[in-house]
Amino acid sequence: MSASTSRGERVDGAFERIEPLTIVVLDDYQNVAREFADWSRIDEFANVRVLTEHIGSEERLVDELRDAQIVVAMRERTRLTASVIEQLPDLQLIVTTGPSNAAIDVAYAWQRGIFVCGTGGYISPTTELTIALMMGVARSIVCEANSVASGGWQTQVGLELRGKTLGLVGLGRIGSEVAAVAQALGMNVIAWSQNLDAEVAASRGVRAVTRHELFSTADVVSIHLVLSDRSRGLVSTAEFTAMKPKALLINTSRGPIVDEMALVHALRNGTIGGAGLDVFDDEPLSLEHPLREIARTHPRVILTPHIGYVTDGLYRQFFTEIVEDIEAWLNHQAIRVLS
């Protein structure tokens, strides 16, 4: 798609504004897109509109994006489906944070002649949050902090992690980093996935086990799988029933890997000891969701709003590279395309 449209033209290699482009940044919850990158050159030829609230309605989303030539998407927050894209005749470029985004119908966008590109990224922020949730749940950090803030004092007895067994469902890049930190804490680490290589696991100091052994022996189960047809609903009633009564579940991967209603039942009935969740089936989590009610009263349940990748360093990379992608597209240079 040429940048020399009716909205502007090149003059001596620079973009001269005739009619400004419209760029819409979706789901910038903290309103920090401009803080983490220099948008000044973009402002010379475009009106940048930042949306800080999630738009769940397709009708409202189309209304917000109808005049946009460029849409900036935060990874897997707003769904840009074929139905949405079809109703955006002016759309020419979609830029997403991260190197992939399952919430965008990339194939349909390309079919419509819309460029789709992304940024780089790294995994350590999600690793850190996984460990933080594991420690926070084991020591009832939120419950105890709230007690002090409200005038109280100690209410719970914490669970030690040293000497306990961490079961990793998935031993990819994040799972391997989590394993290394857990081992430094003195935990034993086991792992299972459908394609896990026992020799690869052993090379990382991790023992490969069967699915049943992982869920029945681990003191903490942490999910590190890609969401797919094979992994959707993988952790459900049978897995919770197999877990120890004090065992903890941590999920910083994708919500639908865990059967939410089965988890709600397991927490309410004391089948498992607690959970730390950063991801959910539908995000943002609805106000009426039973997990919110459980989190208000259960000393070992912590819910965070999908902040695994929400850190200053990663946001700086995301938004800096988004600006670079937009400039590269306008200058007919190579961009980080998604396919």
Catalytic residues: 254, 283, 306
Strands 8-11 and 14-17 come out as antiparallel
Classify residue 207 as exposed, middle or buried by CB count within 10 Å of its CB (0-12, 13-18, 19+).
middle
Token look-up 């400004």 returns 20
CB atoms within 10 A of CB 59: 10
Token look-up 């955006």 returns 88
How long, in residues, is the chain? Answer: 339
For residues 113 and 91, the answer to whether their CB atoms sit within 8 Å is no
* Rounded alpha-carbon distances, angstroms, from residue 95 to 228, 258, 285, 290, 317: 23, 29, 25, 34, 13
Complete edge-to-edge strand list for the sheet that includes strand 165-169: 207-208, 188-192, 165-169, 220-223, 248-251, 274-277, 301-303
